[in-house]
Amino acid sequence: MQKTMDDLFESEPRDLRLADGAMVLGGFALAHEASLLVAVRDVTARAPFRHLITPGGYRMSVAMTNCGRLGWVSDRSGYRYDPIDPETRLPWPPMPEVFATLAAKAAATVGFAGFAPEACLINRYEPGAKLSLHQDKDERNYDAPIVSVSLGLPATFLFGGLARGDKQQRIKLIHGDVVVWGGPARLAYHGVLPLADGDHPLLGRQRINLTFRKAG
């Protein structure tokens, strides 16, 4: 019987080295699936999703919110971390323990022991939403890695080099996958192609992405 493209994806080894200091950990978050989904609902009940505006005045297609000591925000004045949610005027919800524990375990698995995230950016992708190629460089230093957790619909993740024009790898991320990049790969360009429509059994027509960072 001929295999479909999805079959081929699923038959590949789920752990994948992207570069020195960067790896996909296939299904790494699945053991915490139920707790993660409850925590996402709790956080977003207190700090609802919103579509941020870029400094150039564009509305982001991805809806976002945050938890932790700091939250990443964007508006016409620029990109930055802020301890206060600009919509509620309250501190961001505390980072759930399951978030911090998972992020630290994933980072340690790739060789970055002692990772203690201060911020978790929660992105909600609906069909057609995308994230343009960019570097994560709003943090004060780049010693700590980035840890990214995928939940819900599959997405095509782009992972490039240290220059925007470098060749990009295209990686299909599915529910429970975790990507870690740091060290020499910390400033790698990355993005997400427009999300294909679908219906995930737990999250419906959406993908939730948790991105953990140390901002200081």
Please give the Cα distance from 157 to 193 (Å, whole number).
7
Q: What is the pTM of this model?
A: 0.93
Burial bucket for residue 11 (CB in 10 Å: 0-12, 13-18, 19+): exposed
What pLDDT band is residue 11 in, cutting at 50, 70 and 90? very low
pLDDT given for residue 8 in this prediction? 38
Q: Which domain holds residue 46?
A: 5-213
> Which CA distances in Å does 69 have to 83, 109, 150, 174, 213?
6, 24, 22, 28, 11
Please give the Cα distance from 75 to 22 (Å, whole number).
30
Please give the Cα distance from 4 to 215 (Å, whole number).
42
> Residue 113 belongs to a domain with what CATH number?
2.60.120.590
Neighbouring C-beta atoms of residue 5, cutoff 10 Å: 8
The amino acid that residue 73 corresponds to is V
pLDDT given for residue 13 in this prediction? 52
pLDDT in tens, 174-185: 999 999 999 999
- Report yes or no: 24 and 18 within 8 Å, Cβ to Cβ: yes
Neighbouring C-beta atoms of residue 121, cutoff 10 Å: 22
- Report yes or no: 180 and 25 within 8 Å, Cβ to Cβ: yes
Give the total number of structural domains in the chain: 1
Nearest to residue 184, comparing CAs of 213, 147, 156, 143? 143
Task: Share the mean pLDDT of the chain.
Answer: 94
